[in-house]
Amino acid sequence: MDEFKRLDRELICKGSIIDYYKDTVLVPNGNIVKWDFIGHKGAAAIVPVTAQGKIVMVRQYRNALDRYTWEIPAGGLDSPEEPTFDAAKRELGEETGYTTQNIELLISIRTAVAFCNEKIDIYVAFDLEKGEQDLDEDEFIHVREFALDELTEMIFDGRIEDNKTISAILAYKAKYKM
């Protein structure tokens, strides 16, 4: 079997969300290469489903794209040890105002396996109860319900590009709406 061996991992920049490293790796042919690595503490997301079968989505500004996006509610873990279930439930309440006791794991994804270790556990929530949003001071989030077919159309016509949202919506559709 071809062996890869990390010889060194140098922290280049410590960020508030990610840490950027330069890895030195011995590859199978004996060469030593430098690879970028982004360290991430993990995240959780949730597909909120109303009693009418609609999906609750959040619209927020994303600096990396310099525009607004429609996404499922999500957020980073407060620490690498935080259970993703707790984070998903927290983000549901904070971003949408909804609460529930009926949450189950839908799918886990890795966002960019070539250079980042971020893992997002995505849950689905039923039996929603409406409450009030509890947004962070830098969050400006609009909430709207969509039919599953409308979201699927938005994925395939390019209006939804966020990978966690695409994965979540298509996984939900495959699992619950056969």
The C-alpha atoms of residue 137 and residue 141 are separated, in whole angstroms, by 11
User: Is 91 in the active site?
Assistant: no
Q: What share of the chain is helix, strand, coil (3-state, %, to 5)?
A: 20, 45, 35
Q: Are 96 and 58 in contact (CB under 8 A)?
A: yes
DSSP assigned state of 113 = T
How many angstroms separate the Cα of 110 from the Cα of each of 59, 94, 96, 113? Answer: 22, 24, 24, 6
Contact 27, 4 (CB under 8 A): yes
Residue type, 106: L
Catalytic residue among 10, 137, 139, 150: 137
- How many other CB atoms are found less than 10 A from the CB of residue 82? 15
Q: Catalytic amino acids?
A: 137
